[in-house]
Amino acid sequence: MSGQTIRMTLCQSEADYQRIRALLSEIYRLTGKNVAWDVVRLDSYRYGRYWQGERDNDYPWMADMGLWETAAGDLVAAAHPENDNDWFLEIHPDYHHLAPQMLDWVVRRHEEKRPLPDADWPLNVVVHDEFTELAALLAGRGFTDKGPAEVTRTHPLAGPVVVGELAAGYEIRPFNFADPTDMEQRALIGKLVFGATAPPAAYPYKNLAPTWHETWGVFTANGETAAYCTIWLDDNGVGCFEPVGTHPDHRRRGLARTMMQHGLRRLQELGAQCVTVGTGYNMDANQLYAVLGFSQVEVFHKWQYAFQ
């Protein structure tokens, strides 16, 4: 709401992190849409990318979490990156007028993080396509719309979930992170599918994420992981798949489809009202998600600014 005194600060504590999670949940409740990150993506960013810091009680991500709060201490907006170049603005529906000052901070912070003075260091701000005023602001600041970059799909869980037959020679079960072999397999398939570099010892730290979640795998007869996914359930009763991947040697066998059907049934049993999955706009995975009944709901554009 314009006219209020707003204070900008940085995330400085676990309590601040929980406030960000609460803000994301509130944005979803107020809009009924995934126009911002959900708590799943936030937890994955923290515990997946910064596992080493979490293990050593160091929290380097906090300096990149800008917060905007009212005089009463209510958090109404946050800005943060997901990687070296992509930034996101999470704004309460009543406070979109804060976008210009949030963008000012993002530009300054991104420039501060530039590794070398002459390094190629583009800044990307990823924006939901219905935020036309924010798009106009970015255009006026010299950003270029690079087109659709992300999509979030939603699957309602109103009826029974049909689970197909699993291909012969495979079984589906949850990972056991107390088992060193399962930990090794989880690390290996993460590397093969997504290039993840976290060693096996990191994954128990990801399990510190406050959002309920389980990791499931499709295993071969000799115990190797052929496909995997993590299912999450947040406080709004919304389930999520993040990530989903199949070993390159085991693709085109319907493994991910059947695994996700198991995940949908599991989330329904836990009380999920709907389930989301996010991916790149033109990625092949969209075909699988469409077949499973995930409709395309939210599209996000990437706006890019090239520093001189």
Q: Where in the chain is the domain with CATH 3.40.630.30?
A: 6-149+301-305, 158-272
What is the pTM for the complete model shown? 0.94
Report the pLDDT value the prediction gives residue 201, as an integer from 0 to 100: 78
pLDDT value of position 105: 98
Cβ atoms 163, 146 nearer than 8 A: no
Q: Tell me what the pLDDT averaged over the chain comes to.
A: 94
> Is CATH 3.50.40.10 the right assignment for the domain spanning 158-272?
no
CATH code of the domain occupying 6-149+301-305: 3.40.630.30
pLDDT of 2 reads 66
Asked whether the predicted pLDDT for residue 154 surpasses 90, the reply is yes
- Looking at beta carbons, which pairs linking 58-66 to residues 24 or more positions away fall under 8 Å? 61/11, 62/10, 62/11, 62/12, 62/16, 63/10, 64/109, 64/113, 65/10, 65/11, 65/16, 65/17, 65/20, 66/8, 66/9, 66/10, 66/11, 66/102, 66/105, 66/106, 66/109
Residue 302: is its pLDDT beyond 70? yes
When pLDDT is cut at 50, 70 and 90, the band that residue 1 belongs to is low
pLDDT at 167: 94
pLDDT score of 49 more than 90: no
pLDDT at 192: 92
Encode pLDDT of 179-201 as tens digits: 999 999 999 999 999 988 778 87
pLDDT tens for 271-294 read: 999 999 999 998 899 999 999 999
**pLDDT tens profile 131-147:** 999 999 999 999 999 99
Q: What phi, psi does 248 have (nearest 5°)? A: -55, -30
Give the 3-state DSSP-derived string for the chain, with helices as H, strands as E and coil as C.
Answer: CCCCCEEEEECCCHHHHHHHHHHHHHHHHHHCCCCCCCHHHHHHHHHHHCHHHHHCCCCHHHHHCEEEEECCCCEEEEEEECCCCEEEEEECHHHHHHHHHHHHHHHHHHHHCCCCCCCCCCEEEEEECCCHHHHHHHHHCCCEEEEEEEEEEEEECCCCCCCCCCCCCEEEEECCCCCHHHHHHHHHHHHHHHCCCCCHHHHHHHCCCCCEEEEEEEEECCCCEEEEEEEEECCCCEEEEEEEEECHHHCCCCHHHHHHHHHHHHHHHCCCCEEEEEEECCCCHHHHHHHHCCEEEEEEEEEEECCC
